[in-house]
Structure 1
Amino acid sequence: MNYLDLILLIKIAGTGLFVGLPLLLIPTPQLVRLLGIEGAEAAMPLIRLYGWAVLALLVGYSFGLSWVVGDTFPLGVVTMGLVSNAGATVLLVITGAWRKSIALTVLLGCIALAFAFALIDQPSVMQSL
């Protein structure tokens, strides 16, 4: 296992368990209550669609794992991770939503930094831990 394996595994497991699957599987009344967003019930098709989009990203991250096992740096997957996580962090900060989701904002920012480091120092992240 190397640094990049670890980043990808954490991203896949954490996002799948705490974002993708809940958005798809939790019944609407409980999900509306959990999200605490006014009008969430009317937006439920978009919320479920976001859950599918998240799972699609996780498929991409999974392909990155297979390339790492083959000792190939997955440039596209790492770039996707950087854009996705940095973009989410920037949106949370710009909109002020970070105030309600400090832990999420910090987590996404740290994952973005990890992907940025992976792009900058590809040989290091491919070495065994």
Structure 2
Amino acid sequence: MSHLSKVLVFKIVATIVVWCIPLVLFPASVLTLVGFPEQSSYMFVRMLGWAYLALCVGYYFGLRASLEGRRMMGPIWMGLVSNGGACVYLLYYGATGAWAQWGGFVQFIGWGSVVATALITAGLFRFGVQGDEPVAS
């Protein structure tokens, strides 16, 4: 398995386990219990979970190409924009104290996501953009 494949597997699994499943399937009471701010409607939280799942579909196609020894640049660039942007926003809001009133577990997930998105962005750049696998046509 190539390094790019490993980055994509990590991204898909981490996104589904840490973000998609909780945001889509957990009851509102559990989201509040772990530290999300209480909301009258969790509609946008649920939609965000589905959007993350949609990104995982794109990453899956990139993974499949990578496992065949090719690089599919669309999912790689999608991942760079998504993870790079998320990293910058998470770092900014975490550093400015926007999460201070949120529960400790959500803060832990937030800071862990800063680190994970930074590593994923670096991995996608190094093994995707600069990778040595041929680009899929």
Equivalences for 1:1-129 in 2 at 5 Å?
A: 1-37=1-37, 40-96=38-94, 100=107, 101-123=110-132, 126=133
Change (3 A) 1:17 1:96: closer
**CA RMSD after TM alignment:** 2.0
Mapped partners of 1:117, 1:79: distance in 2: 12
Preserved CA contact (<8 Å) 2:79 2:121: yes
2:7–2:123 Cα contact (<8 Å) kept: yes
Larger helix percent: 1
Q: Is the 8 A contact 2:73 2:129 kept in 1?
A: no
Q: Answer yes or no: is the 8 Å Cα contact 1:78–1:118 preserved in 2.
A: no
1:92 Cα deviation after fit: 1.5
* Aligned partners of 2:59 and 2:75 also within 8 Å: yes
Deviation readout 1:67-96 (Å, 9 max, x if unpaired):
113322111111111111110011122333
CA distance in 2, matches of 1:98, 1:57: 28
CA distance in 1, matches of 2:128, 2:66: 14
Q: Counterpart amino acid of 1:114?
A: G
**TM-score normalised over the length of structure 2:** 0.80
Structure 1 gaps, min length 5? none
Paired-residue identity, %? 32
Given that 2:19 and 2:52 are in contact with CA atoms closer than 8 Å, whether structure 1 keeps it comes out as yes
Deviation of 1:28 after TM superposition, in Å, equals 1.2
Residue 40 of structure 2 aligns to a residue in which SS? coil
Alpha-carbon separation, structure 1, partners of 2:49 and 2:22: 8
Measured after TM superposition, the shift of residue 36 of structure 1 is 3.0
Q: 1:71 to 1:57 in 2, by over 3 A?
A: same
